Amino acid sequence: MFGTFQEKIKNIQKKNNSNLVVGLDLELAKFPESITGKDAFFSFAKQIIDATFDSVVAYKPNIAFFEAMGLAGIEQLHKILAYIPADIPVILDAKRGDIGNTAKMYAKSVFEDYKADSVTLSPYMGADTLEPFLEYRDKYVFALVLTSNPGGNDLQLLKLEDGSFLYEKTCKIVKILDDKYQNCGAVVGATKPEYFSSVASILKNSYFLIPGIGTQGGSVSSVLTNCQIQQRDYCLFNVSRDVLYASRAKDFAQVAKQKAIYYKELINKEKESI
């Protein structure tokens, strides 16, 4: 009914006038004291979704936080995914990366069981590990290219024999895959804007999932100045903790709403002014 990932993104961008993704990194220890019980994850997420659904273009549940809770966590993840409005894409932050039939089973899990619209993947075992996901043509893949954490530099900024960086080689692989499947983009951290122009110059028609503008201190303007004007709608900025845990009082959902509006408007302001 709602089409491909790209169609859903374009429609919700127009409807909500937003490029904001809210990450659902759920930690019981950070919940308000009023959120308790066996369905605490769902109860908390439900109120966050109710407060922010008109400010976002996607939700990004991080599967690790649910897997850490065992079967009960996975059950609540399914409830949360079912609760998210159908016109809002879900990016499952799973960072899978494996070969052959294992990759096929991961893809089946992500897209058929969880019914996510998109997924984050680690590309460092090669292009063939991404293809089982890309074969779901109505879905979308975000390959880890240049991550926001400091340790990402250990590999991503390695110099190759031709003088380029490893992340640039990864970009070129993503470009080849996107040319073939038309549904492959990149995770690029806002904390490393000085490298964003090279990513954008290679991946001219791909979506970018951009973490790092909240708690990690990345700059929206620095990212947007390093890509072409026509690419700015492809920049999807993720904020997790700074929306979810802006308050631990009973008003947490209202404060989360205000934070989501703040980031939505900040991104729009920067898009218009640069």
| Residue 23: count of CB within 10 angstroms of its CB | 23
75, exposed or middle or buried, with CB in 10 Å at 0-12, 13-18, 19+? middle
User: Six-digit token pair at 207?
Assistant: 């979506």
Query: Any long-range contacts for 11-16 (C-beta under 8 Å, 24+ apart)?
Result: 11/87, 12/56, 12/57, 12/58, 12/87, 12/88, 12/89, 13/57, 13/233, 15/87, 16/54, 16/55, 16/56, 16/57, 16/264
Q: At what angle do helices 70-83 and 40-52 cross, to 10 degrees?
A: 20
Looking at the annotation, which residues are catalytic? Answer: 95
Distance, CA of 51 to CA of 254 (rounded, Å):
7
Cβ proximity of 252 and 47 under 8 Å:
yes
CA-CA distance, 239 to 214, in Å (whole number)? 6
